[in-house]
Amino acid sequence: MTVAVLALGLVVAGIGTVPILRGAMINNINQQLPSLTSTGQAERFFDVSIPDGKLVFDQKDDAPRATDFVVAFYTTAGDPIATAGGQSTPEHRPQFPAKLSLQSAQAMGDTTVTLTTPSGQTYSAAAATQSLQKIAGVTYVQMVALPLEEADKIVGTYFAVYTTVALVTILLAALLIRGLVTLTFRRLGHVESTAMAIAAGDFSQRLTDLEPTTEVGRLNSAINTMLDRVDHSLAQRDRTVQNMRRFIGDASHELRTPLVSVRGYAELYRMGAISGDEDTARAMERIEKEAIRMGVLVEDLLALARLDEDREKQLEIVPIDLRPVARDAALDLRVASPGRTITVIDKTAEDQEPPRLHPAAPAAPPVASPAPTGRAAGALGRLRRRGRPAPVVPSIDFTEATDAPVRTPPIVLGEENKVRQVVTNLLGNARRFSPAESPIELVVGADRRRGVGTIAIVDHGEGIPPQIREHIFERFWRADTSRARETGGAGLGLAIVASILESLHGSVHVEETPGGGATFIVSLPLAPAQATPAHLLEETQPLDRLDL
């Protein structure tokens, strides 16, 4: 197609330039005619006489034998007298008009006419009137013709050269385009082979020519990007399918276990193996526990299903103060576990500018601060690892400035019911996997640099080994199946926590509690000050620590 367009363009250019060139050559020839017609040519070729009042032209012996032009002479009445110049043979002379009167010559003026020879050659001619120099008062008409053969030869030569150059250009262009197309399609052939391999199921194929300045390079880059996304989507689909299969298998297993127990006790009762009141009460107790466990599992499954369904819905995100959430959760846990010590710690007072120290003025001796109570000292010792106090320089005394600390309230963006569900699930997990008499702390804080509010649930149980911490938030994952069954867990509580926090743009991670145990830290984005209602900024309980 490209070669055809090029050939068409060259043909059009040749057809258009040939008439222009020929016209220019003829115009140059026509510009020579006025100088020839303005000069009398009769006495140059003939001896002119007027016997009996009639012009007679006799050929001179020394007349030019051949000239570039041909001239014809006429009387004023238009009768031809003679012709001269040009080629000697008549077939090479143009066919002049049969009559050319004085009036006709004057009417032509500077106009030129085209004459032809018997052999087919063309001449350009012009007419004018002249007077004899040797015989005064005698006027005649002459027509001078110049051959156009030279112009036709130049045009013909040009056309031949142009045609040759055009043909060579078309041939070279065809070869060059064929080479470029072959090279381009050779690179596209690699794209084709890669696409065929991908169609066969090998999604690891990638294209290598990634030159951004070429179309093929940009195409390869786009295909690689598409393949990366397709590969990622397929891997995500495979993970989803595997998780779904594992989820269905685990859910079926977890539901089948209590159903088998209930069915077994029912069959024992039907067969008469359970007859006494004590055995019947024990069997009913086991059936009730298995039913409760199955109900909890179904509720957790429904909660996860609702979370997955609501993930694309718009949540009602509002500012929430984490301190009342922690206090309410601690009160609920205190009712469920009356033998535990539940402590709520507000660490937002620590998130402030460092106090400015000024040299102390001479004053009365300082009064010793009261020692902390045994409970406070024990809890703080478990939560913090304090360094040894620095030695005091006796020659310099500093006191804290009286500037009041600026607290960063732990007011976060979230949905209150879901945040409370997260804290409740984590407290239930801490209560389930820690000794019955061990304390549990809820530590509320805010990190202005990270822009998050935090609430940590600290227990002092067995803890979680580092190698399994990344798996504990997966669905139906349990580190110890037997322990999970004894404690009634199915491996869904922490998965619900992770799903809720993901929908709230928050996060949760677990750390080791100093002295043993696990600390689950929940982080949620802090609410902007302008979006926080005024009543949330008021201190509802000005205590940094609450022991229950």
410 in Cβ contact with 321 (< 8 Å)? yes
The whole-number pLDDT of residue 511 equals 93
The whole-number pLDDT of residue 138 equals 79
pLDDT at 87 over 80: no
The whole-number pLDDT of residue 29 equals 83
Instruction: Give the pLDDT confidence of 168-192 residue by residue, as tens digits.
Output: 998 898 888 888 878 777 777 777 7
Share of the chain above pLDDT 90, in %: 12
Instruction: Give the pLDDT confidence of 261-318 residue by residue, as tens digits.
Output: 888 888 888 888 887 888 888 888 888 888 887 887 777 777 767 766 665 566 778 9
Tally of residues, the chain = 548
Q: For residue 96, what are its two tokens?
A: 């002049």
Q: Measure Cα distances from 365 to 358, 361, 400 in Å.
A: 17, 11, 16
Instruction: Give the pLDDT confidence of 199-255 residue by residue, as tens digits.
Output: 887 777 787 777 777 777 888 888 888 888 888 888 888 877 886 787 677 677 667
Task: Name the more confident of 365 and 502.
Answer: 502
Residue from 492, 495, 493, 500 nearest 250 by CA? 492
Q: SS3 sequence, 87-156?
A: CCCHHHCCCCCCCCCHHHHHHHCCCCEEEECCCCCEEEEEEEEEECCCCCCCEEEEEEEEECHHHHHHHH
Instruction: Give the pLDDT confidence of 414-453 residue by residue, as tens digits.
Output: 989 889 989 998 998 899 888 988 999 999 999 888 999 9
Alpha carbon distance 324, 153 (integer Å): 108
φ/ψ (deg, to 5) at 364 = -65, 160
pLDDT at 373 over 70: no
Structural domains in the chain?
Answer: 32-147 (no CATH), 215-310 (1.10.287.130), 318-352+406-547 (3.30.565.10)
Task: Name the more confident of 403 and 129.
Answer: 129
Q: What is the DSSP string of 435-454?
A: -TTS-EEEEEEEETTTTEEE
pLDDT at 376 over 60: no
Q: Measure Cα distances from 424 to 46, 62, 231, 330, 440 in Å.
A: 136, 136, 39, 9, 13
Q: For residue 43, what are its two tokens?
A: 């006495």
- Mean pLDDT over 353-366 rounds to 41
Q: For residue 100, what are its two tokens?
A: 């050319």
Instruction: Give the pLDDT confidence of 142-166 residue by residue, as tens digits.
Output: 888 888 888 888 888 888 898 899 8
Alpha carbon of residue 542 to chain centroid: 52
Alpha carbon distance 477, 220 (integer Å): 42
Instruction: Give the pLDDT confidence of 9-49 residue by residue, as tens digits.
Output: 888 888 888 888 888 888 888 888 887 877 777 777 887 77
pLDDT at 359 over 60: no
Alpha carbon distance 156, 309 (integer Å): 85
Share of the chain above pLDDT 70, in %: 77
The predicted model scores a pTM of: 0.45
